[in-house]
Structure 1
Amino acid sequence: MSHSINSEFKFDPKEPSMPISYPIKTLKELESRSYFESFHYPFNKASVPIESGYSEPLPNRRRILVCHDMAGGYLDDKWVQGGTNAEAYAIWHWHLIDVFVYFSHNLVTLPPPSWTNTAHRHGVKVLGTFITEGDEGTTVCNELLSTKESAQMYAKHLAELAVNLGFDGWLLNMEVSLKPEQISNLKEFVNHLSLTTHSSVPGSLVIWYDSVTINGDLWWQNELNEHNKPFFDICDGIFTNYSWQEDYPRRSAAVAGDRKFDVYMGIDVFGRNTYGGGMWNTNVALDVIRKDDVSAAIFAPGWVYETKQAPDFETAQNRWWSLVEKSWGIVRKYLGTLPFYTNFDQGRGYHISVDGDQVSDATWCNISSQGVQPLLEFADSTANSIQPLVDLKEASYSGGGNITFKGSLEKDNYLKRRIFQGEFTLSELPIHFFYSVKSDSNSSLGLVLEFTSTINKAMSILLTSHGMDHLSSGFSKVVPTSEHKGNAPGWVIHEVKTSNYKPDFPVSTSWLVDGEYINWKSGPQDSRILSVKISWELKEGKNFAFPHYNVYVEKIPKLAGGNSGTTIEHVQEYLGVAHVNCFYVSELKVPASISNLKFIIQVCSFDGTNQNLEDCPYYQLEIKGL
């Protein structure tokens, strides 16, 4: 059994177990830097840098910060290599979000790398939380703020965590009363954390929560004013409490001056003393905030999930976020770099496919695996038209999701639906488009590309199957695709390319692959149970980067003479996906008939292509007697 932080067993972070994300609960842990000695630390590093163009300071416009608070945190998302809940919580409306905060009531809340990876993929910054509250919080502050040097030391350790784990800064929530003489060291803590984080993490943020005042009183202001502005002045913004009145955003903007967009007016989606009532009326507060042109901080949008809003999570989630979009508008575009690839995966599901082949039929969740999410317009499911939706249950070509279009059309008609809103700069050829489709024989699906030149000449180009010339009047040009069958029945790959593009993968001998923490146990019927950490890295001089790796195992049987089988066709069993250069195999059952295990690391490219399994690096482990 693997240990977890919610387990009845005492969690020892230095002992090998299924990798998890967990918080730092005491100042002693923070000061000792013991987190970096944890077995789990290498697995918790975010591997996706923030999308190009978003590593700079936030744009000078109103923004949305989302603060994710759910049942104490570290739920399905704590399993770094993925959990088993196909109905786990996820967010997929990233186009409406600028900053994502992972919140819990632990002293130091470290964002699980899954959230950082997918947020960064969508150009969204991620913050952890430092919170002091109650009697324990007072004790913490007495130590933290005892001297200027102490305040600087703890600030330095928080900045170090952000750097090493790959997230973008901190939300500070000092919800305790302080002595007036502690305030100067509190300001030193905030200032030093801001300066240190800024110098080491480009585009990083430190946000102050509206709690303790400059006089040391725990007195929520619900706005930016003279009681909390001294903290606002030494960090990147303020997240106000939720009980504000209609004129508070305007008043806060006046106090902030040219920093009005750094004021984030709080909205509690659960509706606890919040302006407008939250819940399905969250847009009421957003409308006021937008009118006064400041920013919004939406607390606990997981309300939709936690309270089981009807009729189901996906529908309710889309409906709730459509209220946000209708009120706020889409104020940013993502997707600025090439290659661009997505499989429409939501980071959870009921199966996993690789290149059209289903490699697992187990339920799963892993937000790190979320592909770039489409911008689908929410519509009433009873509307009499074709509705696009992300489907997690039907077959997928890659990952666990696809976009499905359901409905009917008149003969020779077509329906056009937006799925992305981005800006790519195309420089030189070659250029290569490909997409995979599984459709009924009487329907066809194409891809529309909208081009704008430097002289503002717009073109709309349709990529689609041959024989669609009757659609030419609706587009600047119709380009027929090359079609070939996918690996799995029913899938057709459509391509348009200007050259014979071939992905570049290092040969298997370019890699160093090793196993450690090897642990064997006896299992039933003379079987054995294996746990092992597998790590890999490129040899010196090899300069490649990859977004993730699929991990498989081949169980090689003994032959009659006791030797390993070499002529038998071996089956690759899918174990999971790694977003860092290591993977922990936990309690793998090995039948008595097996003599060797071959762990295959399938290298996956940013453009969606995967290395052929026979060319991949691997780690071979001989099974010896216990």
Structure 2
Amino acid sequence: MTGFTCETCFMNYLASLTWPYYRYDAITVGGDLDWQDKLNEHNKPFFDLCDGLFVNYTWKEKYPRDSAAAAGDRKYDVYMGIDVFGRNTFGGGKWNTNVALDLLKKDDVSTAIFAPGWIYETKQQPDFQSAQNRWWGLVEKSWDVPRSYPKRLPFYSDFDQGHGYKVSSEGLQISGDPWNNISCQSFQPMLKYTGDEVQPPVRTSINFKDDPYSGGDCVTVQGSLRQNAIFSEQLFNGGLSMEDGYVHLFYSVNAEANSDLGLSLDFSSRNKENTSILIAEDIVTFSRKKQHRLYSSYVQSDKVEPHAPDNQNWVIYRATVQSSASYTLIGINIVCTLKTSGKINSEADEDESSEEDANRSWPYHASLGHISIRNMDENTQFPSAESWVTEGKYISWSNNSNTSKLLSLKISWKLNTSHQASFMKYNIYVEKLIADSSAKASRSFLGVATVEAFYVSDLQVPDEVTSLKFIIQACGRDGSRQGLEECPKLFLVPVE
């Protein structure tokens, strides 16, 4: 650690830094431990040499305005602290954190939120996920949440929040252990928290309990729907530029027998003309409902043979949509209705339909596992296994018991060509091979890497295992995955 004999030396050091540096409001320029709770003459010399100041969270009502005035053009580099535990923090924190946020937004400064883990650590009711959604819903209501989506295709989301109770890949569970890896987060849908007091007849939520299609969760719509109604909720908005030609849209559905689920795409032209396309397998069911006039056109989706034939719950659909360079994709929506039978209603049929039947509600439950939109002529090309160089480093074996050993190592991989790999992530598996060639090797999912390296710690290896085969599966930015047989591999023989 660098030491300084005088404050001037430290100030000179700050001025020489070439990486971002943020300072906490604790030490004054005189060298005293004295929290100022705002930007003033006692800490501004540090602020002038740093990228930002985290102000201590015991500030008073007028302090944000004073800090903004002291910062001048750099007012957004002042981060007023809020302690979620509420320890002498303005507004009291906890479920009143938005009181401080509202004031800071009005005074036009930034904020640093301390200890949002309060929700988990204090076991807020009714459960962590519900309380988490409720608390961050207060933040969103107060400040809104800026979202950054890609501007060009491909677009992919499996709604993964970077944690869960299990892990799935293409509809198959590959791990049943709870996990947390924030780097696995996918683009998040714009779901609104309705509050504990409001219980809408149909609710869209992130579902960690049911089996996901990919990652640790899925989007689930459940509740009750009227027979003649269509429920729709926006998942994403943005500005994806289209090209002349066609795009492929893939999505996965796990629905009860009476529940139908589709997607709609909202487009805007250069002339600000809007159009909406409904995509579903059973367009007859959607087009016979009263709200079908909301959509300019319909595109039928077809079932796709799953990569994993054992997957019985998730159904993958593919649709081909004509696109134009004069349009921008501005919205992706989930669209739900109850299944019906028969032909499309004519106007006369609709007028004669029973109002009682139309207003009758039935249970609805369907889940969306992923969405992938890509240009028709742009498919991810995965390098062959021979195109990669794999290496194991820092290999360490230790005895675990009389029947097994523990292995730790770093696995790294890189292309042996001049091309740089550009994949969203890598799934890492291991197969434990034994001498009996007729026995099927057990394959285990180890985790996910977002760089070309992965650390294995204390992997249990039974004594009967004669070799280990580590598999590095590349995953494209459109959600596609390389076949496991074509993936690069690293072989390792246990030590005696």
TM-score w.r.t. structure 1 length? 0.65
Aligned: 1:553 with 2:368: no
Contact kept? 1:333, 1:423, Cα under 8 Å: no
Distance in structure 1 (CA, Å) of the matches to 2:40 and 2:456: 53
Of stretches 315-324 and 248-257 in structure 1, the one that deviates more from structure 2 is: 248-257
- Mark the CA change 1:522 to 1:219 in structure 2 (over 3 Å): closer, same or farther: closer
Contact kept? 1:449, 1:462, Cα under 8 Å: yes
2:150 to 316, 320, 336: 336
* Bigger Rg over Cα: 2
- Mark the CA change 1:535 to 1:329 in structure 2 (over 3 Å): closer, same or farther: closer
Distance in structure 1 (CA, Å) of the matches to 2:25 and 2:460: 52
The corresponding residue for 1:282 is 97
- Partner of 2:140, secondary structure, is helix
Q: Structure 1 or 2: larger strand share?
A: 2
The corresponding residue for 1:493 is 316
The corresponding residue for 1:115 is none
Q: Which runs of 5+ in 1 are unaligned?
A: 1-26, 32-142, 147-181, 198-204, 560-564
The corresponding residue for 1:373 is 188
2:85 to 267, 270, 290: 270
Contact kept? 1:472, 1:478, Cα under 8 Å: no
Of stretches 252-261 and 302-311 in structure 1, the one that deviates more from structure 2 is: 252-261
1:247-258 alignment to 2 at 5 Å?
247-258=62-73
The corresponding residue for 2:139 is 324
Specify the code of the residue in structure 1 equivalent to 2:33: L
The corresponding residue for 1:66 is none
Shift of 1:411: 0.9
1:190 to 14, 18, 22: 14
The corresponding residue for 2:344 is none
Specify the code of the residue in structure 2 equivalent to 1:474: L
Shift of 1:395: 0.8
1:501-520 alignment to 2 at 5 Å?
502-520=379-397
- Mark the CA change 1:465 to 1:287 in structure 2 (over 3 Å): closer, same or farther: same
- Partner of 2:205, secondary structure, is strand
1:431-450 alignment to 2 at 5 Å?
431-450=247-266
Shift of 1:432: 2.6
Contact kept? 1:598, 1:620, Cα under 8 Å: yes
Distance in structure 2 (CA, Å) of the matches to 1:593 and 1:278: 56
- Mark the CA change 1:592 to 1:191 in structure 2 (over 3 Å): closer, same or farther: closer
Aligned: 1:469 with 2:287: yes
Q: How many residues align?
A: 433
Distance in structure 1 (CA, Å) of the matches to 2:424 and 2:200: 40
- Mark the CA change 1:465 to 1:238 in structure 2 (over 3 Å): closer, same or farther: same
Shift of 1:439: 0.5
- Mark the CA change 1:623 to 1:443 in structure 2 (over 3 Å): closer, same or farther: same
Aligned: 1:293 with 2:108: yes
Contact kept? 1:352, 1:361, Cα under 8 Å: yes
Contact kept? 2:409, 2:455, Cα under 8 Å: yes
The corresponding residue for 1:541 is 418
Q: Structure 1 or 2: larger helix share?
A: 1
1:348 to 155, 163, 166: 163
Shift of 1:371: 2.1
Shift of 1:615: 0.6
Shift of 1:527: 4.6
1:378-433: CA deviation from partner (whole Å, max 9, x where unpaired): 02356132111111121111111111111110113111122223332334545332
1:502-535: CA deviation from partner (whole Å, max 9, x where unpaired): 3210000001112233344456565554444322
2:450 to 579, 588, 592: 579
Shift of 1:617: 0.8
- Mark the CA change 1:523 to 1:295 in structure 2 (over 3 Å): closer, same or farther: closer
Contact kept? 2:434, 2:441, Cα under 8 Å: no
**CA RMSD in angstroms, aligned pairs only:** 2.4
Percent identical pairs in the alignment equals: 46
- Partner of 2:68, secondary structure, is helix
- Partner of 1:407, secondary structure, is strand
